[in-house]
């Protein structure tokens, strides 16, 4: 499965955000291989973090689905999800593909 340059950028962003080590990266690469669902998950997760999503003790470790619902967005893993709406909320914009 070939991934986009934007997805690679998203993964770099998440690696820095979560401070993944090489073992983490290897496990994630294995999970992504051939899985459009996992590619979608990490794409949405990166966009959500750029839009202010944070899972921490102060917010009860809010789940991404609940956070999206609170922001007026549909289930991020459902067919009605619109990534562009999440991107529009970003405080840190995604790099636009050339």
User: Measured between alpha carbons, how far is 32 from 18 in angstroms, rounded to an integer?
Assistant: 17
- Asked if the structure places residue 98 within a domain, the reply is no
- Asked if the structure places residue 23 within a domain, the reply is yes
Query: 98: which residues sit within 8 A by CB, 6+ positions away?
Result: none
Question: What pTM was estimated for this model as a whole?
Answer: 0.85
* pLDDT-above-90 percentage for the chain: 66
Q: Looking at the domain assignment, is residue 97 inside a domain?
A: no
Q: Is residue 26 included in any domain, yes or no?
A: yes
Tens digits of residue pLDDT in 25-59: 999 999 999 898 899 999 999 999 999 999 999 99
Residues 2-18: pLDDT tens digits?
Answer: 889 999 999 999 999 99
Q: Tell me which of 19 and 97 has the higher pLDDT.
A: 19
Would you place residue 77 in the very low, low, confident or very high pLDDT band (cuts 50, 70, 90)?
confident
Q: Which of 77, 75, 84 is nearest to 37 (CA)?
A: 77
Predicted pLDDT of residue 97:
46
Write the burial class of residue 45 (CB in 10 Å: 0-12 exposed, 13-18 middle, 19+ buried): buried
* CA 47 – CA 85 distance, rounded (Å): 10
* Predicted pLDDT of residue 27: 96
Q: How many domains does the chain have?
A: 1
Instruction: Name the residue range of residue 25's domain.
Output: 5-88
Q: What is the pLDDT of residue 94?
A: 64
């Amino acid at each position: 499965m070939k991934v986009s340059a934007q997805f690679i950028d998203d993964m770099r962003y998440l690696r820095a955000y979560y401070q993944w080590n090489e073992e983490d990266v290897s496990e994630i690469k294995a999970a992504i291989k051939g899985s459009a669902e996992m590619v979608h998950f990490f794409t949405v997760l990166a966009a959500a973090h750029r839009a202010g999503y944070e899972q921490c003790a102060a917010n009860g470790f809010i789940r991404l689905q609940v956070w999206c619902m609170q922001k007026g967005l549909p289930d991020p893993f459902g067919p009605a999800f619109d990534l562009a709406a999440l991107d529009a909320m970003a405080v840190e914009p995604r790099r636009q593909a050339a």
